Structure formats: structure tokens, C-alpha cells
Amino acid sequence: MRNMSDIIEQYLKQLIQDSGGEVVEIKRAHIAEKFDCVPSQLNYVIKTRFTNEHGYTVESKRGGGGYIRITKVETHSKTEYLAHLKKLIGDGVSEQNANRLVQSMFENEVITIKEAKIINAAVERETLMLELPFRDTLRASILRRIIDVILYSEE
């Protein structure tokens, strides 16, 4: 059985898909009421599953007329998409954000599930037995190199 966060995530993704993959604007209270949950549950889903690493931008306005606007970041090519991911990685990346990037590459059919599992194993804390910030720096370097290999193998 799926948990409430998974259900809300799927609902929001369906709204985005139904909008033609463009922008969806929602009212926090309306969604919370629809799923009989507290607004903070919706906040959690948005903060963890609709991030830049997942390929989304989120704008939020609080108050009575407030809204949450979720936009799927569309790139016109795999090359643009991977360049966007490299920018997000920067000089250091946490394990959690690395996993989000890998999940995004899988969801966008850049890598297979097997490749995603291999990449996640290569960049996990137990593999990179270094102290912070060196671990995050090494993880970022590995991910950038993997993206370079994917880019060059496409040519």
C-alpha cells in the first residue's frame, strides 16, 4: 500500500501532465482537504519530491489568496537536460541530492534502473569513506564525470 506522500505526489504529477507538462497552480488548503491531511504534509511532498534535482521549480505565495505553482523544467534535448544537472551538482552534493539527481535521470529515461542503482552505490556514504566536505566534493566529481560519459556516448 502506498503512503499519503506517494499518493499526493502522483496526484500532482498527474495534474502537471494534464496541463500539458506546463505549469500547475494549486491551493495548499484545497489539496490538504482533498486528501484529508494537514497542509504540512503537502509542504513535505513539495520540498522533497518537486525539487530542482527532480526537474521542477516551485513558487509559493502564502496567505488567503496564496498558491503553490509547480513548473516542470523542460529542456529541448538530453544535452541541455544533462548540462542543467551538472550546474545543480556544483562543487559538492549531498547523498540525498545525488539520489534525487539519479532518480531524475532514470525518470527522464537517461539511464536504466540498473544504472541508477550502480550510480547510487558508487556515491553513497558507505562507499565514500571520507569526512565532510570532502565526501560531498568527491560525490559531485563522480556525478559530473558520469554525466560527461553519458553525454559523450550519445555523440
The confidence score (pLDDT) of residue 65 equals: 61
**How far from 110 is each of 10, 19, 93, 118, CA to CA, in Å?**
21, 24, 20, 14
The confidence score (pLDDT) of residue 75 equals: 65
Q: What are the sequence ranges of the domains in the chain?
A: 4-72, 79-152
Q: With bands split at pLDDT 50, 70 and 90, how would you rate the model's confidence at 119? A: very high
- CA atoms of 54 and 102, how far apart (whole Å): 9
Note the pTM of the prediction, 2 decimals.
0.64
State the CATH architecture for 4-72: 2-Layer Sandwich (3.30)
Cell numbers for 92: 559538492
Pick the CATH number of 79-152 from 1.50.10.10, 3.40.50.720, 1.10.1200.150, 3.40.50.970: 1.10.1200.150
Tell me: pLDDT of 1 over 60.
Answer: no
Q: Are strands 23-26 and 67-72 parallel, antiparallel or unpaired?
A: antiparallel
Q: Are the CB atoms for 90 and 84 separated by under 8 Å?
A: no
pLDDT digits (tens, 9 = 90+) for 63-109: 666 788 888 877 668 888 888 888 889 899 999 999 989 998 998 88
